[in-house]
A and B are shown apart, each in its own frame.
Chain A
Amino acid sequence: MTEISRDHPVCTQEYAIYTPPIHEMCETISRWIEQRQTGGYIYGPSRYGKSKGIRSFLAKILNEKFDTEFPLMIWSHPTNSKSEREFWNLLLMASRFEFKNPIKPKGKIEAKYLFKQHLITLANRVKYNYIVILIDEAQLVLLNEWHWLLGLQNELDLEGYRLSIVSVGSHQISFQPNFFARTGDAHVVTRFLLHHARFHGIRSQNELEYILEGYDNDSEWPDNSNISYTKYFLSEAFDDGFRLADLSFLIWNELTEKYNLAFRSYKPKSDQIEIPMNQIANLIERLLKEMSNKPKSEIELSISSEYISKILFDQNMISQVWTTSTD
């Protein structure tokens, strides 16, 4: 019996599976880049896998698509910055700039200068004049911060570089354009928030199957070992032909049932169903851990609709679905 390493990404939850919604989001962002848009935002309920998707796949996809190391900087907005100095220092800290020092933050002007030069460096090294900053948790960005970014965009414009800000956030961000437009800051909207797209949950059994195939085939640990996550945990069963993708029907049925339970008086149509990615990931993680090293026959006996249902109940799926539906 192989001992399961606690360092496995499934155990540490430090992994990402490529999903159809991530693919859709990356395609949207690529399209905006191709159109040289100055900004746009992607919104979707929390825990749907936006952040993981961005961090794990966006850079790779853009690099492949544009056949270069695309000048992209991803910044997860931590909290509202109290001053412009703090704002630029936070951005500088998020960059790979070697001479940043969290103990001794730079002055406002210096931090802004260094950050601007860093963006130019990003663009210049691949002979581009276009840079993208992707702000995660962008619903937390305040009006002042938008103004500072607008100033930076103007300065870069003067130097011949185009800056695009792509924002990714929960549903609240979609209220901002309306609010800004009505309070005299329509220029912020036209620069950064004019284009938008929704980040969906998992909407069909086919999508679920695609994800489960990710665990079965398109994942690997340790690096270059050619061992997928499923093979690592369910080694014997995997060799005997067991695949998580084969459970897609069973799991999808349980997911939709729980989803519908969240809406007692109203039954959503099948094309309105959106399952949060974290529910699927947590379910698979628990399944892999509980069934680890068991033979195929035992796994097939253990995994039933009741088993899945219990896990989803433990994960409080109904409550999450109901809560995020208000987003």
Chain B
Amino acid sequence: MDNFYRLSSLISTTNKSHFEPLFNWRSDLYDANDNTYFLIAKFSLLNKLNFENINEFFKQYFSFDVYDLDVEGHRSVKYFFSVFSQSIYFHNDFITDSSTLDNVLGLKINLSYSHTTKHHGKSIRYCPECIKYLKLPETASFNYLDRCVIHDTKFSEFSCNFQHTRLRERNVKCYENFLMKICPTYPALFLTKPLIARNNNDPYIELGKWNSTLDNEAKSKLGRHLYTFKEIDDHGSDQLVYTLMIGLLTPPPLLNNYIIKNGKSIIAKFSSIKNEVGLSLFEKYKIAQFNAIRLVYSSFCFLNRRDEASFIKSILDFIDELNLRFEKKTNNFWYFNERDRTWILSDISYRSSSQNVYTLLINWLAELWLPSLYNGSSRRVSESYFNNFYILNHDLVRSGTFRPLVDDLTGLELSFGQISIYGSRFRELSTPNFSSEQMFALDSIFDEIAKSYISDVRTWIDRIECGEKPDHFPPKSRALLSLQKRQNDYCLISISVD
């Protein structure tokens, strides 16, 4: 709030209990919990200002762009209006950047005030009761809320046509349009009775407290994100992200009524790994090594520890299951043509031009877990796959956690020629330096991951066998597996949405 000194000097120089009315404003229009852009929109309409006027005016007091406020900007603008409304400014718990839940399980849940209060889409959420008082609570822009915390009313949506508004002006202009449409008589004829006293509104206080602790709660419960072994499909969908957030960072019971409900429940499974084991395993790992470990380690296990590594056993068992299912099937075979990515239903069990859905899945599992069994659809595809396998091995060797079995893998950098001579066939390239305890830890991690993949495939193939047409490949991931560093241990967190 380095700009506050300008206002402070204004206060001291006027030395009056009231400010000169340099612009049109009414103290009734100010509410400390109003969306800041909505406050600016009210100010702008009352003074008939355009984009340049508004920015020019606020530049007298602040150095930031009023159309794109950061947390400090929000606080400063609210303080400005509180001063000119002769209201006491109180620190708002919602205006915080601490709830940028970035990288919680690898997902970006941005709950920062400056992000959520911006006009992002085509609609503005508002409380039909609050707007009668010309208030647009900032909580309406918190998408994980379903109802107004003050009135217990479901939020309504206002669709705004922002196409003709310049991108820079959109944050304020859309709120102006909203105000003019919803309250055509603005600023006249609105109710000025005070809203329900906030001090007595427990959910509101609870929300404030919860909001300000989200970051810490996320850290203590989930730890620091290291790597996502398996992403969840549709993870970009806001609804899913908020479902995850609410499911993992339990809101206070008083807020249950106000939180979005989309009928989905979260199943979370935490697999702990001892701190010292995790530290020795992942200390030297960066993203490249994490990317490599599944394929290279499972390849090693398949060739050398097939009976000990339970995840290899699970995959092989499942491959057998797929083969068995195919054997039992007598008609209606789904085939996938990789070239034009189309699905064909056929009565015959073999078509040379396409892969049937069982073969497709077995190849896919081999591609993910068993490189020695991988058979690409063409020489070029196989070459590309094994070249990548070579690079992954090199990454792990470079980290010191794997030992090279071939001489040319020892160099720090790889040349293009070095990779291409590797060809289109499988060769064991490195072997891990792990202790039995470390291997046990990795086995348990990959066991979870393998089970998740198998579950996804099984759900998918079950539906197809029930008569559903396959419309995508590979099967959609229905669980998220993330490796986290917590205070006292490492943990693989598996989240599935039901």
Contacts and interface: CB of A to CB of B under 8 A. Distances in A.
Interface of A: 68-69, 96-99, 106, 110, 113-114, 117-118, 120-122, 124-127, 158-159
B49 A99 contact: yes
Given A99-B48, A99-B49, A125 B21 contact: yes
B18 A117 contact: no
B426 interface: no
Given A96-B21, A121-B21, A124-B27, A69 B48 contact: no
B49 to A, nearest CB: 6
A97 B17 contact: no
Contacts of B47: 99, 114, 117
Q: Among the interface residues B16, B46, B48, which one has the most CB atoms of the partner chain A within 10 A?
A: B48
A97 B23 CA distance: 5
Contact of B23 (A99, A110, A124, A158): A99
Contact of A98 (B17, B22, B28, B189): B22
Interface string B21-34: 11111111000000
A69 B23 contact: no
Interface of B: 16-28, 46-49, 53, 57, 86, 187-189
A120 B27 contact: no
Contacts of A113: 48
Nearest to A122: B21
Contacts of A127: 27
19 contacts: A68-B17, A69-B16, A96-B20, A97-B24, A98-B23, A98-B57, A99-B23, A99-B49, A99-B57, A114-B47, A114-B48, A121-B24, A122-B21, A125-B18, A125-B25, A125-B86, A126-B18, A127-B27, A159-B189
B188 A121 contact: no
A158 B188 CA distance: 9
A105 to B, nearest CB: 13
Contact of B26 (A110, A114, A121): A121
Contact of A69 (B18, B24, B46): B18
Contacts of A125: 18-19, 21, 25, 27, 86
Given A114-B48, A127-B27, 10 more contacts: A68-B18, A99-B23, A99-B57, A110-B48, A117-B46, A121-B25, A121-B26, A125-B18, A125-B21, A126-B18
B18 A118 contact: no
B21 A118 contact: yes
A115 to B, nearest CB: 9
Nearest to B84: A125
A139 B92 CA distance: 54
- The B interface is mostly helix, strand or loop, or mixed, namely loop
Chain B CB count within 10 A is highest, among A96, A106, A118, for A118
Nearest to A95: B21
Contact of B24 (A68, A118, A126): A118
Contacts of B46: 117
A159 B192 CA distance: 12
Contacts of B22: 96-98
Top 7 closest pairs, chain A to chain B, by CB: A117-B24, A98-B22, A121-B21, A124-B26, A69-B18, A121-B24, A98-B23
Nearest to A107: B48
A68 to B, nearest CB: 8
A44 B31 CA distance: 48
A114 B24 CA distance: 8
A158 B185 CA distance: 12
A126 B86 CA distance: 9
A10 B22 CA distance: 31
A166 B211 CA distance: 55
Nearest to A124: B26
A99 B56 CA distance: 11
B18 to A, nearest CB: 5
Nearest to B189: A159
Contacts of B17: 68-69
A114 B22 CA distance: 12
A120 B24 contact: yes
A106 B21 contact: no
A158 B28 CA distance: 17
Contacts of A106: 48
A122 B49 CA distance: 19
Nearest to B21: A121
Nearest to B49: A99
Nearest to A101: B53
B455 to A, nearest CB: 64
A97 B48 CA distance: 12
Contacts of A122: 21
Contacts of B18: 68-69, 125-126
Nearest to B25: A121
A113 B24 CA distance: 10
B187 A117 contact: yes
Contacts of A117: 24, 46-47, 187
| Centre residue among B23, B24, B86, B188 by max chain A CB count within 10 A | B24
A111 B189 CA distance: 20
Contacts of B86: 125
Contacts of A120: 24, 26
Contacts of B25: 121, 124-125
A121 B48 CA distance: 14
A58 B103 CA distance: 65
A117 B46 CA distance: 7
A128 to B, nearest CB: 11
A125 B86 CA distance: 8
A98 B23 CA distance: 6
Contacts of B189: 159
Nearest to A99: B47
Contacts of B187: 117
Contacts of B26: 120-121, 124
A65 B43 CA distance: 32
